Homo-oligomer: A and B are copies of this chain.
Amino acid sequence: MTFLTHFSVQPLSSMTRRLAGVASGRADPDLVIAGARVLSTYSERVLPGREIWLWGGRIAAVKPAGTYKGGTARIYDARGGIVAPGLVDPHIHIESSMVTACAYAEAALLNGTTTLFCDSHEIGNVMDVAGIEAMLEDARLAPLSIFLTVPSTVPATSPLLETAGGDLTAEKVGALFDKWPEAVALGEKMDFVPVAMGDERSHAILAAALKRGRPVSGHVYGREFVSAYAASGVTDTHEAIDREIADDMLEAGIWLFLRGGPPTTPWHSLPAAIKTITELGASHKRVAVCTDDRDADDLMLFGLDWVTREAMKAGMTPEQAWAMGSLHRATRFGMEGEIGGLGGGRRADLVLLDDGFDPVSTWYGGELVVDDGKITPLLDQALSTRYRYPDAAYHTVKLPKQIKLTPDLPTGKVVAHTIRTELPGITLGHQKITLDPANGWQNHFDRHGLCFVTVVERHGKSDGNVAYGLLSNFTLRRGAVASSVGHDSHNIIIAGLNEADMQVALRAIEETQGGVCVVVDGKVTAMVELPIAGLLSDKRVTEVAEEVKILKREWEAAGCCIPYMGFNLIPLSVIPEIRITDKGLVLVPEMEIVPAFEAA
């Protein structure tokens, strides 16, 4: 049996003669999906009474039902179900699912997603080009079509504001484009303030993409930045958080990727942003949907198929929504001749839907990989052959022997610059709290609803840089929580109520070379081990999903007011208003460091 990857289907250029023969009826297809309705992402209609002729992993033709009169082709009876093109996720960070690309494929195919565009800037922040290239090798072995939007903003800000493992210069970005055909665009250019201000390094990276004719993905907050951002060559974004900025972006020539996510997380901006269409009357033709970040657990329940159905709930017709989930991104990157619709010559990446637009079966490159909601033996076999990351990827948490994790108690009256956490959790508030002298930290915590937050540099670039701060309203009731996934530099972030539990959390992560954990009374009560770059498990997605379920349960029991994925964003110093990195507290968009405490 052929090993199933993106490369199992031959290029169209070598297949046109045979496909023309099949479409003309002179040669047999090898598979006919019979008795189907077809969801056309081209015309945005559902066409009744169709059958789909496949050969060599591509679509030869869609014909009226009953046209195939029998021969050597296998027949799959769709029993009147809806056949649609596989979904295309236009913007995703695989690392957020804490699994490898190979492992991610399993969840994607179960959700009807057959192509994705990943921005591997997490592993790039830890391991620089070596990490990105390892993940590309991983992706090449996956039973899924995975393209790269080259990480553009590593580090997310500058060495003055944080210490990252990676440093992706314009030269390195250009070299990635030149070496890897999978590198189809520049990934989200997150440093929107420097971009708008004309920063030289930022624009050199933009130029590395634009000079090569590659489009640029963006990430911007604030309507006042949109026009400068578009003028800098950014032509898509997934960060529209409301109707007005979504509308501004569309008009500035920026494709919108509406991000949907579990309603309890900060990722569900789709319902607000889609109102540019449903309330302001904009065309949906330059709008797609995406997931962006999904942990292993949520991935099984809130995949791109779910986001697509959310678009239907928000007022799009099912046909429009499915086009937003597949064809539109393919179009945006000039790949609609390969994917995104059921046209002749396209890859046979298909999904069979029930009447609620829930995926039932999935074909990848003409091979049945999910049948009636379950993975097939073929896919199971493909998933058992996995990429092994290089040894260096398993050794990325480098800490000094001794680190103090909590600040000294102020002796006088001070103003603390605290980070206020609250749902949905993406933006964080800058809350100044006056602390009168007290006997211990616990008095402050009790009075003001605070806890410690500490970031420790882990790339071995400093002798254990450590920065202290306070979280307000995080509502942690006991122990500590910690993570080696601390966007985007992925230093270790720890929140806690006491030094001892925070030390246990830090050393647990050092021991496993990465992970997210909850500690209570000196004991680790939940831990997702992430030994690859401190970001990824090397288990299958279903196993990781189980581990994440337990983590979430303990996380919630510890009282944290935002989920662990929001917690991981606390060091991400490109989102307002205040964040903490290993260099200290950073104000955004001012991009200034402020001390944790100032004399009152």
Contact = CB atoms under 8 A, between A and B. Distances in A.
Contacts of A44: 282-283
Nearest to A50: B251
A254 to B, nearest CB: 7
A227 B196 contact: no
Interface string A30-67: 00000000001011110100000000000111110000
Could you say which of A251, A253, A283, A346 has the most chain B C-beta atoms within 10 Å of its C-beta? A253
A232 interface: yes
Could you say which of A26, A232, A344, A345 has the most chain B C-beta atoms within 10 Å of its C-beta? A344
B210 A343 contact: no
Contact of A344 (B12, B252, B333, B345): B252
Given A229-B344, A231-B344, A251-B40, A334 B337 contact: no
A414 interface: no
A253 B14 contact: no
Contacts of A333: 334
A336 B250 CA distance: 13
Interface stretch (A16-24, A263-271, A372-380, A422-430): A16-24
A281 interface: yes
Contact of A342 (B59, B228, B253): B253
Given A12-B210, A282-B45, A334-B333, A20 B228 contact: yes
A198 B24 CA distance: 10
Interface in A387-423: none
Interface string A312-355: 00000000000100000001011011000111111000000000
B253 A24 contact: no
A214 to B, nearest CB: 10
Given A44-B282, A235-B337, A281-B45, A211 B11 contact: yes
The 7 closest A-B pairs by CB, nearest first: A253-B343, A230-B344, A334-B334, A43-B282, A13-B210, A19-B231, A231-B344
Given A231-B345, A232-B345, A252-B344, 12 more contacts: A18-B198, A20-B229, A23-B228, A23-B230, A42-B283, A43-B247, A43-B251, A215-B337, A235-B336, A235-B343, A253-B346, A333-B334
Contact of A233 (B16, B203, B331): B16
Contacts of A11: 210-211
A507 interface: no
Interface string A464-499: 000000000000000000000000000000000000
A284 to B, nearest CB: 9
Interface residues of A, number: 69
Contacts of A341: 253
A250 B21 CA distance: 21
A233 B40 CA distance: 18
Contacts of A60: 227, 231
Given A60-B231, A331-B331, A20 B251 contact: no
B198 A20 contact: yes
A132 B40 CA distance: 38
A369 interface: no
Contact of A232 (B16, B227, B283, B285): B16
